[in-house]
Amino acid sequence: MAEENKLFSFQGYVYIGERGSAGKIINPVWVGDATMQVAMEVQTAEHNENFSGQRLPYGLMQTSKKSTVTLTLWEMRSQVLALALYANRVSTTAGTVTGEVMDAGLTTGQRTVLEHPLVSNLVITDSDSSPSTLAEGVNYSLENPTGGLVQIIDPGSFVQPFKAAYSYAGVEDTLIFTSTPPERWVQMVGVNTLNDEPVIVDLYRVKFNPASQLPLHNEEFGSFELTGSALADALLATNANLGGFGRVRLPSEV
C-alpha cells in the first residue's frame, strides 16, 4: 500500500511576541506579509586515532548547536521597524503651531525646514511691531509639505526672523539605535497549501540583529530582512512537551 503523500508548501501568519515569565507568548503582533526561514547548524570536533599510523577518523563530538531565523518583510509596520532599527517609538499627535521663529537672515532661493512635517495651512509673517504677512508664491513657497520644506522666493523688506503658523498631521517617529535588542518569541501559524493541513512553528527566544539595509528607493515592491539567533530557553527545557528551543506542530499521523 502506497504511503500518504506528504509533499508540502507552507504559507502562514508570522507573529512576534514577548516571552512571559511563565514561558508563554504574550502580546503577539502580526508582522504583515512575510516569509520565514529557519537554518540549523551543528559545530563538531573531530578526533583522529594515533595507533594505526594513518590518523584515521576515530571520534566525532558535537560542540555546539545553532539556529538562525530569517524574516523577509514586505510591509513597513512601525513595531517591526522598531525591532529592525533597535529603536524606540515616539508618537506626536496632530496639532497647530503659531509664532514658530524661522531661521534668521533668509535670502532669495534659500530653503528652511519647519519643526514639524506634514504641513498645511502655512502662513508666514514678519517680526515687525505691526506684523505683515508674506505672500505665498511671491515671497515664499511651501516647496515640500511632507517634509515641511519652505523656499524663500523674495524676502523683500520684511523684518526677519519670519514667523510661521501652520497645521501638521500626527506622526510616529522611530528613533534609530535608541533601544537594546529585545528577545522575542517568534511564531508562524500556517497551512500546507497542498492539502490545507495546519502547521505551527514556535521559537521561544530569538534575538534579532538590526536590519542590514533598509531600501528607501524602490522600483518594485520594497522589502527588508531581519536575521536573528534562536536561543535556548532553560525554563521550557524542563517541559518535555516544549523542549528548550522551539517546536514544529503538525496534525497527528495516528
Q: Report whether pLDDT(3) > 80.
A: no
Q: Which domain holds residue 73?
A: 10-48+59-89+175-249
- The string of pLDDT tens digits covering residues 178-222 is 998 889 999 999 999 999 999 999 999 999 999 989 999 999 999
Give yes or no: residues 82 and 206 share one domain. yes
Give yes or no: residues 187 and 74 share one domain. yes
- The string of pLDDT tens digits covering residues 100-125 is 999 999 999 999 999 999 999 999 99
pLDDT at 182: 85
Asked whether residue 222 is assigned to any structural domain, the reply reads: yes
pLDDT at 1: 55
Asked whether residue 160 is assigned to any structural domain, the reply reads: yes
Give yes or no: residues 22 and 85 share one domain. yes
Are 106 and 152 spatial neighbours (Cβ–Cβ below 8 Å)?
A: yes
Return all residues near 244 (Cβ < 8 A) that are at least 6 apart: 204, 232, 233, 234, 236, 237, 238
pLDDT at 254: 67
Q: Report whether pLDDT(245) > 80.
A: yes
Give yes or no: residues 14 and 85 share one domain. yes
Mean of the per-residue pLDDT values for the chain? 93
pLDDT at 236: 87
Q: Determine the length of the chain.
A: 254
Could you tell me the three cell numbers for 8?
Answer: 508540502
Give yes or no: residues 36 and 145 share one domain. no
pLDDT at 2: 60
Give yes or no: residues 68 and 99 share one domain. no
Asked whether residue 137 is assigned to any structural domain, the reply reads: yes
Give yes or no: residues 150 and 200 share one domain. no
Give yes or no: residues 67 and 83 share one domain. yes
CA-based radius of gyration for the chain? 29
- The string of pLDDT tens digits covering residues 122-159 is 999 999 999 999 999 999 999 999 999 999 999 999 99
Asked whether residue 3 is assigned to any structural domain, the reply reads: no
Q: Report whether pLDDT(244) > 90.
A: no
Are 150 and 111 spatial neighbours (Cβ–Cβ below 8 Å)?
A: yes
Give yes or no: residues 70 and 114 share one domain. no
Whether pTM > 0.75 for this model: the answer is yes
Whether the upstream peptide bond of residue 198 has omega within 30° of 0, thus cis, is no
pLDDT band at 253 (very low <50, low <70, confident <90, very high): confident
Asked whether residue 5 is assigned to any structural domain, the reply reads: no
Q: Kindly state the percentage of the chain with pLDDT values over 90.
A: 84
pLDDT at 35: 96
Count of the separate structural domains present in the chain = 2
Could you tell me the three cell numbers for 143?
Answer: 516647496
Asked whether residue 4 is assigned to any structural domain, the reply reads: no
Q: Report whether pLDDT(17) > 80.
A: yes
Q: Report whether pLDDT(98) > 90.
A: yes
Asked whether residue 254 is assigned to any structural domain, the reply reads: no
Asked which of 112, 144, 169 is the last residue of a domain, the reply is 169
Q: 74-79, long-range: CB within 8 Å, 24+ apart, which pairs?
A: 74/32, 74/33, 74/34, 74/221, 74/222, 74/223, 75/31, 75/32, 75/33, 75/34, 76/222, 77/29, 77/31, 77/32, 78/172, 78/174, 79/16, 79/29
Q: How many CA atoms lie within 13 A of 59 on its CB side?
A: 7
Asked which of 118, 141, 169 is the last residue of a domain, the reply is 169
Asked whether residue 225 is assigned to any structural domain, the reply reads: yes
Looking at residue 191, which CATH number applies to its domain? 2.30.110
Other Cβ atoms within 10 Å of 148 Cβ, number: 20
Give yes or no: residues 104 and 139 share one domain. yes
